[in-house]
Amino acid sequence: MLMTSVCRMLFAVLVLAGLCVMTPAAAQSDADVVQAKEAFDRGDRKRLDALAPQLKDHLLASYVTYWQLRLRIDEADPAEVRAFLEREIGSPIGDRLRIDWLKSLAKRGEWNDFAQDYIALPGDDVELACYVIQNRRRTEGDAALAAARALWLTGYSTPDACDPVFAALAARGDLTDADARARMRLASEVGNWRLVQALGGELSGHARMTPREFSQVDRDPLRALARGQFSWRTPAGRDLALYALERAARKDAAAARVSWVKWRDRLPLDERAYGNRRLAYHAARALDPAALDWFREAGAPSGSLDEIAWRVRAALRVRAWPDVLVGIAALPESEQEAPAWRYWKARALAAAGRGEEANALYGTLARDVGFYGLLAADAQGRGPQYLAALRSVSLGAEPALVAAFGRRADVRRVQKLFDLDLRPEALREWGYIMRGQTDEALLLAAEWARSAALYDRAINAAERTVARHDFALRYQTPFEGDFKAAARDQGVDEALLYGIARQESRFVPDIVSAAGAVGLMQLMPGTARWVAGKMARTDFKPAQITSPPLNTQFGAFYFRYWHDRLDQRPALAAAAYNAGPSRAQSWRPAAGSLEGAIWVETIPFNETRDYVKKVLANTVLYAHALKLPYVSLTDRLGVITPRESPAIAAQVP
């Protein structure tokens, strides 16, 4: 979509509505801002500099200046940069330019200027953190290096800026082969094979691994593990065996185990336990019923947070409630306070006959407005009372207050950035506005966003409140006619459609995801064409996909299609909507039935697990808001029966 035409269309709409606040010159000026952003994205300094003078009075003039400075950051006049940073202190573009400027100064060795212009900023920019340590070392000496160790101990690759700091640590003897082997494990766990191999090649003596040894494993990890031809008496041989196990278990945990059990006794107890944990972890994520037994072989719950969490999920999958309690108790105390683990701990306590303790935990979840709060209420048989107790206190802000909020310079920038489809910039501006606000200020912002049809920002603000909530703002019902029609025509629960759209698009009708999904119901173009064929919509054109009436109809049809083919279980259909029907089908139990809540908790993909929880919780809350007949979350989740042929998914793109 050409932004110039968008601006012209917006101008025309405002004129027809009698609300014109945009002159033709202003519309052209907006189009020039879009062209300036396009020039910035292309690195076209000449074009950007040509556009800048005529935009000096535009609402987004500071963005144009930022783009100019950013393109010549390595040769910019320090006085000009500092003047901009002073004007824009505390703004998103001010903070972003400061980070870029500091990195540029550090790369050029301008440490005095770096020290002068550095201020601590929120976020975790590792590259800048390493430059800060380099600068501090100039004045504090090697004592400044202590902060670098935490940056080094990660499974992810680090920026080049960190290399001198890490080299200094190593030269002092503060990074040993044991540390490098520990980092190799972290890298292996996140699949950063290049880093594993780089670290392995830098080790000394019998700990060092060669590129040839790695390549032999990489060609066929399962075969390498089956052959077991490792130098078991050396650190390098044992690390290579664990590397082969990690790669093989990712591919096929059951097959990897067959070979692993033949050789694992050749490793020391701690390394054998680590290998057992990694194998069990991958088996748990593959939903293998034997995973819990394999975890038990590793001893008491230990290891990474992710490993312990999946040990709990493996126990849930086979309803081993004592193991659920033991696993949750092994989590860090702060993690045990998460709603998920409090709920499952309560369930495990109830299964152990400790009802009083379970009810006390269920009571703490009443404050959780969402999946686990609803499940806890169901467990106590008080779902309707739970919903009735969700006190929604509207701010009732005077229109003048809402209008005054909208006149703020930063809010006007947000509106303009959205108007010009500069969405990432708009979201950053909004995030800065939201920081540290009171509940009342957040609800005022939400009211303004709703009035401006920025429904996603209204939800974003309303969800941040701590004590005073307005659930009508959190669970809005825009495009009501379209959703009602789609629900009626396609035979889908209206609350469920709203629950999906709230999670998919937050009601932004023309949003396009990174994967290319479009509109309120986030339809892929290929899926839309498939639905059009199924519905015999010969008039369908791809350009119509953002139309709310069409998008909701197509999304409702697609959801119902899989809902009907997946036993009419909303949880299965929601998982299919997010991750694809073949995956949803493969996650069903191989034998026996599984409680819906346990099935959702053990979905292997973090994103899909979170998605299904939110869609189903949204559905219950929307049904309450729409005054539809009450159906508990537990009933909506139902029971998931064993899987059938995965060929079910071959019918749709």
pLDDT single digits (tens) 39-79: 999 999 999 999 999 999 999 999 999 999 999 999 999 99
Residue 9 scores a pLDDT above 50: no
For residue 368, is it within any domain? Answer: no
Same domain assignment for residues 25 and 92: yes
**Do 321 and 293 contact (CB within 8 A), yes or no?**
no
Phi, psi of 520 (to 5 degrees): -55, -40
For residue 337, is it within any domain? Answer: no
Element containing residue 595 per DSSP (H, E): strand 594-595
Same domain assignment for residues 642 and 501: yes
Same domain assignment for residues 425 and 318: no
Buried b / exposed e across 278-295, counting CB within 10 Å, b at 16+?
bbbbbbbbbbbeebbebb
DSSP-derived secondary structure letter, 77: -
CA 155/CA 181 separation, integer angstroms: 11
Q: Look at residue 543 and give its three-state secondary structure.
A: helix
| Domain span including residue 645 | 480-651
- Percent residues over pLDDT 90 in the chain: 92
**How confident is residue 11, by pLDDT bands cut at 50, 70 and 90?**
very low
Place of tokens 């290319």: 516
For residue 162, is it within any domain? Answer: no
CA 265/CA 272 separation, integer angstroms: 7
**How confident is residue 22, by pLDDT bands cut at 50, 70 and 90?**
low
Average pLDDT, the chain: 94
Total number of domains constituting the chain = 4
CA 621/CA 615 separation, integer angstroms: 10
CA 325/CA 344 separation, integer angstroms: 8
Residue 32 scores a pLDDT above 80: yes
Residue 20 scores a pLDDT above 60: no
E strand residue ranges, 391-522 = none
Q: Where are the alpha helices (DSSP H) in 318-422?
A: 321-329, 333-336, 339-351, 355-364, 371-379, 383-388, 399-406, 409-419
Residue 501 scores a pLDDT above 80: yes
Categorise residue 645: left if φ over 0, alpha if ψ from -120 to 50, beta otherwise.
beta
Same domain assignment for residues 515 and 434: no
Tens-place pLDDT, residues 636-653: 999 999 976 444 444 445
Same domain assignment for residues 447 and 492: no
pLDDT of residue 145: 96
pLDDT of residue 28: 82
Query: Average pLDDT of 512-529?
Result: 96
For residue 359, is it within any domain? Answer: no
Which residue, 326, 344, 359, sits at the end of a domain?
326
Which residue, 77, 102, 122, sits at the end of a domain?
122
Query: Average pLDDT of 592-611?
Result: 97
Same domain assignment for residues 463 and 498: no
Same domain assignment for residues 433 and 489: no
Same domain assignment for residues 633 and 503: yes
pLDDT of residue 392: 85
Farthest CA pair distance, the chain:
83
Tens-place pLDDT, residues 227-280: 999 999 999 999 999 999 999 999 999 999 999 999 999 999 999 999 999 999
CA 370/CA 613 separation, integer angstroms: 8
pTM here is 0.93
Tens-place pLDDT, residues 358-396: 999 999 998 889 999 999 999 999 999 999 988 888 888
Tens-place pLDDT, residues 541-568: 999 999 999 999 999 999 999 999 999 9
Place of tokens 């000449």: 46
Same domain assignment for residues 459 and 487: no
Which residue, 276, 293, 326, sits at the end of a domain?
326
Q: DSSP labels for 277-299?
A: HHHHHHHHHTT-TTHHHHHHHT-
Amino acid present at 336 = Q
Radius of gyration over every alpha carbon of the chain, rounded to an integer in angstroms: 28
Same domain assignment for residues 435 and 515: no
CATH number reported for the structural domain that contains residue 484 in this entry = 1.10.530.10
Q: Look at residue 512 and give its three-state secondary structure.
A: strand
Same domain assignment for residues 246 and 201: yes
**Do 85 and 102 contact (CB within 8 A), yes or no?**
no
CA 467/CA 461 separation, integer angstroms: 13
pLDDT of residue 393: 87
For residue 166, is it within any domain? Answer: no
Q: Please enumerate in sequence order all residues whose Cβ is within 8 A of that of 13, keeping only pairs 6 or more positions apart, or say none.
A: none
For residue 223, is it within any domain? Answer: yes
For residue 527, is it within any domain? Answer: yes
CA 317/CA 514 separation, integer angstroms: 33
Same domain assignment for residues 520 and 542: yes
For residue 154, is it within any domain? Answer: no
Residue 137 scores a pLDDT above 50: yes
Q: DSSP labels for 391-404?
A: --------HHHHHH
